[in-house]
Amino acid sequence: MLLAMAGFVFALVELANYGLQALRSRQQAELLQEINLLALQEAAVDTPTPQLPAETAAWTAPPATDDPATAPPTVTPLPFKVMSSRFAKLKKQNSDIVAWLTIPDQLDTAVVQRDNTYYLSRDYLGYHNSNGAIFLDMHCDLAGDPKALILYGHNMKTGGMFGNLRKYEEYSYFRTHPTLTCDTQYEEGEYLVFAVLRVSTVYGSARFVNYTMYSQMTREQQADTLSDLLRLNMFTAPVEVDVDDQLLILSTCTGDDHERLLVCARRMREGETAAQAQP
């Protein structure tokens, strides 16, 4: 009887702790959402463009010359990416914040990056929390041009983190939620969902896909990986995808230690509209 009572009390304590951690995660998410909204509003304020005097505006460039000493200076592109003011503000909360993910009607949250284990059990501010945080794969170098942004998050029963990704396994949800937004600290990005699938983590399995190494693959290997993702796709979406596209892959667990649920999207191309992604 005493052992049963002790077990019951322990279960209650664990349940209460789980609830408190989930609450703290929601509170942190709301705080970051407020900071992000404020940063977006400040960035949207138009800065007046200086007007040149009439005599200056009428000035024309001197004729071209082959003499290096008299040639006008040329403007060269920056050899590095510049962080946006929006993320400079977000990083005051946590320097590991590197992106912002938005799934309409589901998720609007920061994305952090360190190694691939730290944020499995820590929240967005680095405190221990079983809910963890949404984090970017450690091998993804945003300062370069990664071919795939791979994001991980727990499949929480409360719907927290990537707990609502399972909604994409319903065709009606997949059909009405074709776009995702993932802005990084260097650039904005809108993506079109092209595949929803479950993959095996067991090498050699018919459902194994080595998606985590996509950015490090050759073009031929990337083409093979894309074929595997489309082969296992639960639905058909009128979204073309090839190795020239940048991918966004959201990965979460399913309750099976050897399985992952993936929602795959590719960056919207120039001149493309979200309406073209409607199944």
Per-residue pLDDT tens over the stretch 129-164 = 999 999 999 999 999 989 999 999 999 988 889 999
> What pLDDT does 16 receive?
53
Query: How many angstroms separate the Cα of 136 from the Cα of each of 140, 153, 229, 251?
Result: 7, 9, 20, 10
Mean pLDDT of 85-111: 95
Average pLDDT over the chain reads 84
Tell me the C-alpha distance between 24 and 141, whole Å.
30
Question: Which residue is it, tokens 């040329």?
Answer: 74
Q: Where exactly are the structural domains of the chain?
A: 2-40+81-277
d(CA 37, CA 43): 10
* In the predicted structure, residue 188 carries a pLDDT above the cut 90: yes
- State the pTM of this model: 0.80
Q: What class has domain 2-40+81-277?
A: mainly beta
For the chain, give the percent of residues with pLDDT over 90: 61
Q: What would the two tokens of residue 98 be?
A: 């590197």
Taking alpha carbons only, the member of 267, 268, 271, 234 closest to residue 148 is 267
Task: Tell me: pLDDT of 271 over 90.
Answer: no
DSSP for residue 101: E
